[in-house]
Amino acid sequence: MISAVFFDVGGTILDESREFADWADWLGVPRHTFSAVFGTVIARGLDYQEVFRVFRPDFDLTTELARREAAGRPESFAEEDLYPDARECLTSLKDQGLFVGLAGNQPAHAEATLRGLDLPVDVIGTSHGWGVAKPASAFFERVVDAGGGVASSILYVGDRPDNDVRPALEVGMKACLIRRGPWGYILDPSEVAERCLFRIDSLVELPSLVATHNAVGG
């Protein structure tokens, strides 16, 4: 039985298209060029920050975020950056009586922004707030603790086989892979994806899948 569902943030409930476009503009790089390099970096299995270093070798994310803040162009997101299916999915799962949470790699400003969106969730956890980042097992152990302590009763939903699915499975959670965003389309190792409880293309699909799973006793 699934009693709790946790969601990754970027690429899962949050469409990062505008964020990537803003970074391209900030770096003074054509957006299509930035996207092309982004895809290459992902396909090679490198950290996404390597994209920035292609254009600015001395790039440091913390420093650059501070520069953007000082220039009045902070990294940010808002209601319009949520995927259209996100809020309805969260609400539907809550209506089933499930514990619902968000847990993703996010910088310092993101937790307050997520709380400001008033999403129908019970807990919001971020790598900055927890002091540990995915794919570290300690991050997913925090998810298990937040979700009630029984890993096998928790479903983790994410767009990345490497950062979301594999480490969630390794700590005993169930996993759902959603195919969207750059990682969702470029990375799809079958040995990881085939171990998922669900594979979906839209969050619209998830509530009924969870309800059916629970109705037949897990």
Domain 4-15+80-215 has CATH 3.40.50.1000: yes
Question: What is the spatial distance between Cα 161 and Cα 167, in angstroms, rounded to a whole number?
Answer: 9
What is the model's pLDDT at position 12?
95
* Whole-number pLDDT of residue 127: 93
Spatial neighbors of 34 by CB under 8 A, at least 6 apart, are 20, 21, 23, 24, 27, 51, 55
The label of the residue with tokens 């999915």 reads 89
**Which comes out higher in pLDDT, residue 137 or 75?**
137
**In percent, how much of the chain has pLDDT > 70?**
98
**In the chain, where does the domain assigned CATH 3.40.50.1000 lie?**
4-15+80-215
Q: What mean pLDDT is predicted for residues 9-34?
A: 94
Question: Reading across the β-sheet that carries 99-104, which strands appear in turn?
Answer: 123-126, 99-104, 4-7, 154-158, 174-178, 198-200
pLDDT tens per residue across span 169-201: 999 999 999 988 787 777 766 777 788 999 999
Q: What is the pTM of this model?
A: 0.91
pLDDT in tens, 44-72: 888 888 999 999 999 998 899 899 999 99
